[in-house]
A and B are shown apart, each in its own frame.
Chain A
């Protein structure tokens, strides 16, 4: 029987090969376009960061630098240069802010999403709607209200102001993403665990959490990148140079008098490293989280 089945499936498979599907070609062309669209700026950034000040402004541009130099990287990473210590400071600031945002966000989002997924309580649907509505407005709309709020709280020019702001933006999405993951885990698992002697919390912690880890990792990456790259709020809420995050710090420093393009590009390249490393390390979870969604129980 299996022989028959494999024969038919072979015959079935060979048929569509004969003609070329125009949709496939369109698909490939579109993907190629997207690839160029996203990769070329990265390469251009890398290329510029390796050039001298003049070569960077030359027209027509040099795609591949004729005299590549690591001068800018050396300056950025040297503790004795003018920019070096400040760059390190911005980097550390960004890291602290993004990490705190991510950890706090996930800590709040997990129980919130779990509650939305599992419990029936009055106003549940309305609350969830409110959580999502936040995402329908452009972030800049909240700039002035939040600034007034932060001022009243005495948080302007502290990490607290931007961490709270990032949470405001990141949490709804995190809760929504995680709720999807919890929804896909059959409720019987907790029921079984509770009958087997676990408290509600233990059932969640020992049985449900391990199943949600791809989702939690994906959500964390998402929230980390959001905070790592954010510019507008950091530029508005922070003044003290020692507090600036990378996007704001770099912009201020490198365009103070005239834009030092190679320096800015080198800094931007270094800035993208943590995100890229994170993606590479956690990629398999991320992809699994996005494609699988459902965890088969």
Chain B
């Protein structure tokens, strides 16, 4: 167990800046998820913590030790790869034993630890098989097993669930969560799937183009995204963004779009919007905070239904609002039909106000 500190880490490949002055403070025993679209630098960051890629600048600490120049084998870490990277010429037992053998663990201890890991992951019956004889889910378990046979200071996981089918992924996600409770070790987990990030993490670091966008608990990044990118990336379906000009008259305000619609802004949302330098703001509203009515409502904006997606427990209604397409969710049954007219209003308590130019969240 150990803390991991990234201090102003930079990695460039030629002219390309893969990781741009990244600083992260990961406390002992914390489960931190690095999340972002492909090419955001999350895997590069993980590989630098692992020691597989050298830093261009900055410093990485594991525990209290600066590990910049330390070989991967001396960092006391374990890693699970996206394609599992099981050793094809070794049996499952051989795969699990390898990290212990490399560290000169006594034979009896190796047996004991493999038995324990196999037991935790339910792979006792597979020990004599070779990786190619295993299903994807089984390979995944063996890869996890190879990481947990030792007691490393830090677990590194590079999209470990992304090669599994949807059902298995949900199952393994729960098992990872469970495993994490039992091991109580520091985890750094890379994924592009915001749902995985939300469900697993103690803290989420959202990266984009090598830059850290926001670092906080799942609740913080969901409730208080610091910019439009985070707002749009976390949560599914994505947050709706409504671009318009702030118009204030007689103490009341509204956001007026070029395509004609205008939504009123009240209270804190209005005060935030007034912080904008240019008066051009983006209102971010999640699908659950849009109210839809099939009959006219005072102050609501008229729009048309574009498409309806029932999912069973919730129905997503795609709405054409001026030139924009937005998504709202309603509890079924929803009586509307495509091309019907609807009236939508915003839940003033749950609006996110961004500056249209800087794309940063505005605060009072």
A binding-site residues for B, Cβ under 8 Å: 186, 188-189, 191-199, 202, 206-207, 210-211, 295-297
Contacts and interface: CB of A to CB of B under 8 A. Distances in A.
B364 interface: no
Contacts, number: 69
Nearest to B102: A197
Contacts of A296: 88, 132
A199 B85 contact: no
Contacts of A193: 87, 98, 102
A196 B83 contact: no
Contact of B72 (A188, A195, A207, A211): A195
A60 B141 CA distance: 73
B2 to A, nearest CB: 15
A158 to B, nearest CB: 41
B103 interface: yes
Contact of B73 (A198, A206, A207, A210): A198
B324 interface: no
Interface in B73-92: 73, 75, 77-79, 81-83, 85-89
Nearest to A199: B73
Contacts of A195: 50-52, 72-73, 75, 77-79, 156
B288 interface: no
B85 A297 contact: yes
B235 interface: no
A186 B52 contact: no
B87 A189 contact: yes
B151 interface: no
B153 interface: no
A132 B103 CA distance: 41
B76 to A, nearest CB: 9
A48 B86 CA distance: 56
A188 B143 CA distance: 12
Contact of B88 (A198, A202, A295): A295
Nearest to A295: B88
B289 interface: no
A189 B85 contact: yes
B268 interface: no
Contact of A297 (B75, B83, B99, B102): B83
